[in-house]
């Protein structure tokens, strides 16, 4: 049964929108992310069989249909039953139980898959430290952890400085709150300053499985330096509190993904996997960079997640030591030790 739910989750992760019946009230605050794979779309979290997945919703069209009968919700695909008992789970900010903020959607860099800098002003949330504190305070007992990400605006140092300021205020108001950060860093001192301000977990993304792919999809970033930053982050934050996401689906082999995960795990870094999703906003940029790519399949998602779990277990790494960000949220990936 667990296997069946995990397979459905893999299909949902890669699939299209969920169509909501006209007039149906989702009953929870709709998330409008400015980062992550659903950036820009209204979305809600669907929970089923111990899994949860965040899906873009639409009243007009979708690959999946939400159907309500006798107060029970189910999902259909192509007119056939897909999942017969789903729940809509509330989000705090961006994801369940966490307040996850994107401090700045603008970015001086040009990663080809990233839609964040292209979102319209209507999704821009004009966040500042006081608004973030007020948002957290508005959900007492709901927000169990805080996480911060940001596009790089101005310089890397200035962007980290804004994160540091925000962490200090959160830490002063909530001494015991887990605080995760997902910055782009290019200097060890930035990692020290994030830890000293009170961050408890850090995710520094290596983004791609190979340097060849990386140079095409993140042309402005420094692949080699990211691994230096990760090694130092393990010294500062400790094993079990440092993660790195890599996106697959740019034409690399599974062997490339597995080798990169092994390299990260050997360093004490938890490898996070994210299946590339191509959408109308990023398609052209991705195809210009790497050519036409085979779309990811649910089978690939599941088999790489199993490899990810095997590698983590081999190096004594577990997603359950993380209290913030994507390992804790689980909405966009098959997460080892939580979903499988
Ligand atoms: S560094 Fe790359 S992935 Fe991060 S916000 Fe900027 S463009 Fe997007
Ligand atoms: S898994 Fe990560 S990107 Fe996806 S909704 Fe959760 S926190 Fe956001």
For residue 37, the ligand closest to its alpha carbon is 2
pLDDT value at position 37? Answer: 47
Q: Is residue 74 part of a domain?
A: yes
276 lines ligand 1 (CB under 6 A): no
How many angstroms does the Cα of residue 293 sit away from the middle of ligand 2?
A: 24
Whether 50 is covered by a domain: the verdict is: yes
Which residue owns the Cα nearest ligand 1 atom 5?
151
Phi, psi of 66 (to 5 degrees): -85, 130
Residue at 203 is within a domain: no
Q: Is 114 in the pocket of ligand 1 (CB under 6 A)?
A: yes
CA of 114, closest atom in ligand 1: 8
- Residue 25 inside a domain? The answer is yes
Angle between helices 2-14 and 298-314 (to 10 degrees): 120
Q: How far apart are CA 168 and CA 166, in angstroms?
A: 5
The pLDDT score that the predictor gives to residue 2 is 63
Residue 290 lies in a domain: no
Residue 97 within any structural domain of the chain: no
- How far apart are the CA of 162 and the centre of ligand 1, in A? 16
How many CB atoms neighbour CB 69 within 10 A?
8
Q: Which atom of ligand 1 is nearest to the CA of 35?
A: 5
107 ligand 1 Cβ < 6 A = yes
CA 151 to ligand 1 center in whole angstroms = 5
Give the model's pLDDT for residue 260.
98
* 85 CA to centre of ligand 2 in angstroms: 22
Q: What is the Å distance from ligand 1's center to 68 Cα?
A: 39
How many structural domains comprise the chain? 1
Distance CA 334, CA 328 (A): 12
Domain of 35 in residue numbering reads as: 2-89
> How many angstroms separate the alpha carbon of residue 143 from the centre of ligand 2?
15
Ligand number nearest to the C-alpha of 13? 2
Residue 55 maps to a domain: yes
Q: Is the CB of 91 under 6 A from ligand 1?
A: no
Assess if residue 46 is contained within a domain.
yes
E-state strands within 168-287: 179-182, 201-203, 242-248, 270-275
Buried b (16+ CB within 10 A) or exposed e, 253-263: eeebbbebbbb
- Name which of 157, 104, 152 is nearest 129 in CA terms: 104
pLDDT by 10s per residue, the chain, length 340: 568 899 999 999 999 999 999 988 887 777 776 655 455 668 999 999 999 999 999 999 999 999 999 989 999 999 999 999 999 999 999 999 999 999 999 999 999 999 988 876 555 567 899 999 999 999 988 999 999 999 999 999 999 999 999 999 999 999 999 999 999 999 999 999 999 999 999 999 999 999 999 999 999 999 999 999 999 999 999 999 999 999 999 999 999 999 999 999 999 999 999 999 998 899 999 999 999 999 999 999 999 999 999 999 999 999 999 999 999 999 999 999 999 9
């Amino acid at each position: 049964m667990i296997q069946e739910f995990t397979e459905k989750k893999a299909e949902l992760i890669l699939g299209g929108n969920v169509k909501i019946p006209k007039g149906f009230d989702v009953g929870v605050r709709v998330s409008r992310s400015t980062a992550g794979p659903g950036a820009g779309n209204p979305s809600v979290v669907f929970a089923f069989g111990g899994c949860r997945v965040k899906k873009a919703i639409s009243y007009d069209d979708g690959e999946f249909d939400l159907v309500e009968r006798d107060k029970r919700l189910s999902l259909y695909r192509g007119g056939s039953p897909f999942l017969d008992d789903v729940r809509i789970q509330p989000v705090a900010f961006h994801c369940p139980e966490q307040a996850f903020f994107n401090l700045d959607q603008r970015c001086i860099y040009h990663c080809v898959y990233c839609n964040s800098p292209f979102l319209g002003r209507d999704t821009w949330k004009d966040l500042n430290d006081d608004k973030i504190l007020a948002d957290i305070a508005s959900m007492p007992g709901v927000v169990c952890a805080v996480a911060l990400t940001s596009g790089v605006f101005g310089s890397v140092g200035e962007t980290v400085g804004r994160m540091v300021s925000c962490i200090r205020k959160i830490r002063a108001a909530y001494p015991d709150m887990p605080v995760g950060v997902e910055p782009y860093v290019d200097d060890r001192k930035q990692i020290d300053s994030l830890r000293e301000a009170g961050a408890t977990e850090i995710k520094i993304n290596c983004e791609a499985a190979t340097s060849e792919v990386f140079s095409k999809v993140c042309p402005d970033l420094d692949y080699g330096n990211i691994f230096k930053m990760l090694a130092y982050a393990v010294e500062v934050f400790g094993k079990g509190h440092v993660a790195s996401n890599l996106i697959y689906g740019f034409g690399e082999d599974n062997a490339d993904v597995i080798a990169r995960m092994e390299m990260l795990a050997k360093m004490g870094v938890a490898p996070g996997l994210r299946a590339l999703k191509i959408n109308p906003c990023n398609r052209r940029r991705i195809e210009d960079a790497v050519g036409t790519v085979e779309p990811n399949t649910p089978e690939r998602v599941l088999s790489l997640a199993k490899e990810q779990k095997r590698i983590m277990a081999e190096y004594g790494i577990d997603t359950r030591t993380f209290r913030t960000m994507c390992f804790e949220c689980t909405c966009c990936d098959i997460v080892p030790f939580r979903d499988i």
